Chain A
Amino acid sequence: MTADVRGSSRPAGEGLDFLIAESKKGRPMTLALACPYGDDALGAACRAQREGVARAVLIGDAARIRSTAERDGCDITGITLVDEPDDDRAVEASVRMVSSGEADFLMKGLVKTSTLLKAVLDKEWGLRTGSLLSHLFLFEVAVLGGRVIGVSDGGMNTYPDLGAKVKIIENAVACFHRIGTPQPKIAALAAVEAVNPDMKATLEAAALAKMNERGQIKGCLVDGPLALDNAVSEEAARIKGISSPVAGSADMLLVPDIESGNFVGKVLMYMTGGKGAGVILGARKPIVLTSRFDSVETKLLSISLGAVVARG
Chain B
Amino acid sequence: MEQIRSLSQLLEHAKKIGAEKGPKKLSVAMAEDAGLLAAIEEARKAGFAEAILVGNGDKMKAAADQAGVDLSDYELIDERDEPAMGIAAVTQVSSKKADIYMKGQIHTNNFLRAMLNKECGLRRGKNTISHCYFHSVEGFDRVFFIADAAFNMYPDLAAKADITQNTVGLARAFGVAEPKVAVLAAVEVVNPDMPATLEAAALTQMNRRGQIKNCIVDGPFALDNAVSEESARTKGIVSPVAGKADIFIVPNIDSGNMLAKAIVYFSKNETAGLILGASAPIVLTSRADSTRSKLLSIAAAVALSDFQK
Contact = CB atoms under 8 A, between A and B. Distances in A.
B153 interface: yes
A271 B140 contact: yes
A112 to B, nearest CB: 14
B265 A233 contact: yes
A251 interface: no
Query: Which 8 pairs of residues, A with B, have the shortest CB-CB distance?
Result: A191-B257, A228-B261, A266-B223, A263-B259, A260-B255, A267-B262, A259-B255, A262-B186
B227 interface: yes
Interface in A267-312: 267-274, 292-293
A242 to B, nearest CB: 12
B265 A266 contact: no
Contact of B228 (A158, A255, A268, A270): A270
Nearest to A202: B254
A256 B254 contact: yes
B186 A270 contact: no
B77 interface: no
Contacts of A269: 224
A257 interface: yes
B288 interface: yes
Contacts of B254: 189-191, 199, 201, 256-257, 259-260
Contacts of A87: none
A227 B261 contact: yes
B255 to A, nearest CB: 4
A271 B234 contact: no
Contacts of A292: 234
A143 B268 contact: yes
A232 B186 contact: no
A141 interface: yes
A262 B288 contact: no
Contacts of A270: 223-224, 227-228, 231
Contacts of B252: 259
Given A201-B254, A263-B223, A143 B185 contact: no
Contact of A143 (B149, B257, B267): B267
Contact of A229 (B227, B253, B261, B267): B261
Contacts, number: 115
Interface in B224-263: 224, 227-228, 230-231, 234, 250-259, 261-263
A267 B266 contact: yes
B196 A228 contact: no
Interface residues of A, number: 41
B206 interface: no
Contacts of B149: 191
B222 interface: yes
B223 A262 contact: yes
A258 B186 contact: yes
A21 interface: no
Contacts of A227: 257, 261
B212 interface: no
A251 B263 CA distance: 18
A267 B227 CA distance: 10
A217 interface: no
B36 to A, nearest CB: 15
Contact of B258 (A236, A264, A272): A264
B98 interface: no
B189 interface: no
A124 interface: no
Contacts of A143: 265-268
Contact of B253 (A141, A199, A255): A199
Contacts of A267: 223, 259, 262-263, 266-267
B194 interface: yes
A154 B259 CA distance: 12
B253 A191 contact: yes
A271 B224 CA distance: 9
Contacts of B185: 259
A263 B184 contact: yes
A143 B261 CA distance: 13
B201 interface: no
Nearest to A292: B234
B193 interface: yes
Given A228-B262, A271-B266, 14 more contacts: A143-B265, A189-B254, A189-B258, A191-B149, A199-B254, A228-B265, A260-B254, A262-B186, A263-B255, A267-B259, A267-B262, A271-B227, A272-B267, A274-B266
B139 interface: yes
Nearest to A201: B254
B46 interface: no
A228 B231 contact: no
Contacts of A232: 265-266
Interface in A205-261: 227-229, 232-233, 236, 239-240, 255-261
Interface string A89-100: 000000000000
